[in-house]
Homo-oligomer: A and B are copies of this chain.
Amino acid sequence: MNVVLSRDSQVRVMESTVTNAEKYFGQFCSLLASYTRKTARLRDKADQLVKQLIDFANTENPELRAAMRDFAEDLAKVQDYRQAEVERLEAKVVSPLKLYGAQIKQARADIKKYKRVQNNEIKQLEKLEKLRQKSPSDRQMINQAETSAQRASVDTSRTTHHLAETVDTFQEQKLKDLRRIFSDFVTIEMVFHAKAVEVYSSAFQTLENYDLERDLQDFRAKMHGICGHGSAQPLSDTSSPSVPWALSSQSAQSPLGNTRKEEEGSEGDSVEESPLEDLRGQQQGRCD
């Protein structure tokens, strides 16, 4: 019976390996799927900000309009990179983790088969033992039972060997997948963050270069121009505008070079805010 016990321990290790993998890979999968969805929602929110920035830019004087539009374009670029991040996380992290379920099922089936075969061996051994005690003289029956027990034992051996191979392959695949999936996760995140740094550096320059004084002069000229020789006093510090006001009516409506398709953002992330979030928004994020 020592052999059976040692086999049992081995099967327990195999079972716990598979159970652990099932538990943690399942959790990694749902957490990373949720992480990906939340990233997509952050992208949607920033996209809305881009739209508002462009609308706002179109109501402003040329200097601010140009600065806001450039800034909005940079912000849109970051969202394009975030979209690429979302797609790559889906393809290289979440999908492989989903597919992992099939391998776990195979290992589970092999363990189940082994247990069936092993139970049969135990049954045959018990039958043989009973026969030996009850009818120790019935050689024919005992020989038959011995043959059955031997056959069952060979079956168990073969299945154990097959199971050991399966679990070995499973473990190797698991370790390789784990390293690959998390390396891919890190690479995808790293590429996104690096691109974001690059684009935000340019956005920072845009805002630094924005000529606020010139914009203010435009505004004062507009106010002054309307008053003409009216009663309102010209405001102090109003030099003549160097940019003709007519410029401000140029259409600035050309859409951003955002090539992202509508559907790509759809995957449930562009759904309206949940009522719960609206409520939280009212509690913390009130903007009045």
A residues contacting B by CB (< 8 A) are 2-3, 6-7, 9-10, 13-14, 17, 20, 24, 26-39, 41-42, 45-46, 48-49, 52-53, 55-56, 59, 64, 67, 71, 78, 94, 97-98, 101, 153, 156-157, 160-161, 164-165, 167-168, 171-172, 175-176, 178-179, 182-183, 186-187, 189-190, 193-194, 196-197, 200-201, 203-204, 207-208, 210, 212, 215-216, 219-220, 222-223, 226-228, 230-233, 235, 267-269, 271, 273-277, 280-281, 283-288
A13-B175 in contact (CB<8A): no
Given A186-B200, A189-B200, A223-B13, also A230-B34 (CB < 8 A): no
Given A10-B223, A64-B175, also A280-B37 (CB < 8 A): yes
Provide the residues of chain B in CB contact with A17, threshold 8 Å.
219
Provide the residues of chain B in CB contact with A35, threshold 8 Å.
42, 45-46, 49
Could you name 30 residue pairs across A and B whose Cβ atoms are closer than 8 Å? A3-B230, A6-B230, A7-B231, A10-B232, A13-B226, A24-B52, A24-B55, A24-B59, A27-B52, A28-B52, A34-B45, A34-B273, A35-B42, A35-B49, A37-B280, A39-B42, A42-B42, A64-B178, A67-B179, A71-B182, A94-B285, A157-B231, A165-B235, A186-B204, A187-B204, A190-B204, A267-B284, A268-B280, A269-B280, A274-B274
B223-A167 in contact (CB<8A): yes
Instruction: Identify which of B9, B20, B231 contacts A59 (C-beta below 8 A).
Output: B20
A226-B6 in contact (CB<8A): yes
